[in-house]
Amino acid sequence: MRKQLHFAIFIVLILIYSCNRSKQTKSNIDLEFTQDTLNVGYTYWWPESGPFIGQCGDELSLVFSGTITDILESTDEAGPLYNSQKGFIQIDRVFKIKDLGTKSYTNQQFFVSDCFDGLQLKKNDHVLVFCYDYENDFSIPGVQSILKIESLDDPLITSIKKYINADQNPSKIKKDMKLWEKHGLGEALERIIQCYENTN
């Protein structure tokens, strides 16, 4: 009888662990990084940037945290369109990957884009990065799509993981409004919360 009770408790514990684990896996992505670089284009003409763009919140395509390893000087390579400034990030953790077919993310450990002009970032800064997709490839609209964080365990990471785990239901992070307001993203979050609540 005691053996049966122990076995039953063991099964219950396994089920609880499995359920908890399945709830956590959406934004907890285990990767074996390759020593390659993901080059992401700058959609400088987009009117919005950051994690909450679009009326109701466009789907994020790639979200990760990392550390800036280098930022080059600004140049006029892009001509009159925008000031081009390349920055390099070593990716620490990835929280969201959207399948883009042949252009999908393939575990590259390094990220480069020329969208760093005016971001007031420097080498060794920790950052949280939000990419979208444009014409079946990753893109970044710059400005608020690369946020400086205090550490790789910053509260912004906890909040964005909740948002991703909830299939980008912004109501799940309504209590984090003040956190996002500090980064100038409070109005954007409020907009997509209103849209979500009006349509669901």
What's the pLDDT score for residue 20?
A: 42
Q: Read off the pLDDT of residues 4-27 as tens digits, 9 standing for 90 and up.
A: 444 434 343 343 334 443 444 489
Mean local confidence (pLDDT), 125-148: 97
Mean local confidence (pLDDT), 136-153: 95
Q: Read off the pLDDT of residues 76-123 as tens digits, 9 standing for 90 and up.
A: 888 889 999 999 999 999 999 999 999 999 999 999 999 999 999 999
| Secondary structure class of 22 (helix, strand, coil) | helix
> Is the CB of residue 94 less than 8 Å from the CB of residue 64?
yes
The rounded distance, in Å, linking the Cα atoms of 103 and 111 is: 14
Instruction: Tell whether the torsion through CA atoms of 51, 92, 71 and 131 is positive or negative.
Output: negative
> Is the CB of residue 139 less than 8 Å from the CB of residue 42?
yes
- Average pLDDT across the chain, whole number: 89
Compute CA distances 134 → 47, 53, 147, 158, whole Å. 14, 14, 21, 27
What's the pLDDT score for residue 14?
A: 40
Closest CA to 96 of 160, 37, 186, 50: 160
Which residues, 6+ apart, have CB-to-CB distance to 165 below 8 Å? Answer: 23, 24, 26, 27, 172
The rounded distance, in Å, linking the Cα atoms of 195 and 3 is: 54
Q: Tell me, which fold does domain 34-151 have in CATH?
A: OB fold (Dihydrolipoamide Acetyltransferase, E2P) (2.40.50)
Alpha helices, DSSP H, located in the chain: 2-24, 155-165, 177-181, 186-199
127 beta partners = 66, 148
What's the pLDDT score for residue 105?
A: 97
